[in-house]
A and B are shown apart, each in its own frame.
Chain A
Amino acid sequence: QSALTQPASVSGSPGQSITISCTGTSSDVGGYNYVSWYQQHPGKAPKLIIFDVDRWPSGVSSRFSGSKSGDTASLTISGLQTEDEADYYCCSYAGSSTLAVFGTGTKVTVL
């Protein structure tokens, strides 16, 4: 099972919106509405920010939003803030044998 494809880096200025893509196949992203997104600051454990494509866990800012079209899922961060500077990973269910696959990760830089 190959990793889902994400851009290596995305940047934006404070207050702007950015979008991170996560491209898979019909066997993972395109086949199920089970895409989650994680934020990871250096030296820390990942933090869940989106699950089931577009749902927020309790306590996560609504500035983070998720969507999916075909084999590509997307994470949009609105009103970019300095604390949003981190690595972001998508993750998709990939069927009962493989179960899960992560994306390659995207480094978000706030200019």
Chain B
Amino acid sequence: QVQLVQSGAEVRKPGASVKLSCKASGYNFANSFIHWVRQAPGQGLEWMGIIDPSGGGTKYAQVLQGRLTLTRDTSSSTVYMDLSGLRYDDTAVYFCARALFMTNLKLDYWGQGTLVTVSS
């Protein structure tokens, strides 16, 4: 069965970086896309970016350009999300989600979410 398993909760100080992982299983990792979506406490969903695991191509939300980097390791079917220059308002639950096509945003399987807390 399709599964996306994310790494555990993280606590960082303002200005630091955090790197989260999302390990995929149960399907052809290369024939899909992985999106990252975050949700601040009590707030709505925010689209962050997408990576094409086969070629490594990425697109990022404009508000995160320069701070967000998505990478992948095809040997372990894992996608990584690196967010730098952390601010207090980056405190959120971060989700990865699978889509078989880039444009239709059919995010059919989601990871369990990872809480990132930015605190001094």
Is there a chain B Cβ closer than 8 Å to A111's Cβ? no
Contact A98 B62 (CB under 8 A): yes
Contact B45 A99 (CB under 8 A): no
Binary flags per residue of A72-103, CB closer than 8 Å to B gives 1, else 0 = 00000000000000000101110011111111
Contact B106 A1 (CB under 8 A): no
Contact A46 B62 (CB under 8 A): no
Contact B59 A89 (CB under 8 A): no
Contact B95 A46 (CB under 8 A): yes
4 smallest A-B Cβ distances: which pairs? A45-B110, A51-B106, A105-B44, A100-B47
Contact A48 B44 (CB under 8 A): no
Contact B106 A57 (CB under 8 A): yes
Contact A102 B47 (CB under 8 A): yes
Query: Contacts of A35 on B, CB cut-off 8 Å?
Result: 105
* Given A91-B47, A103-B44: A34 touches B61 (CB 8 Å cut-off): no
Contact B107 A99 (CB under 8 A): no
- 7 A-B pairs whose Cβ atoms sit less than 8 Å apart in the complex: A34-B103, A40-B45, A45-B110, A46-B95, A57-B106, A93-B104, A99-B47
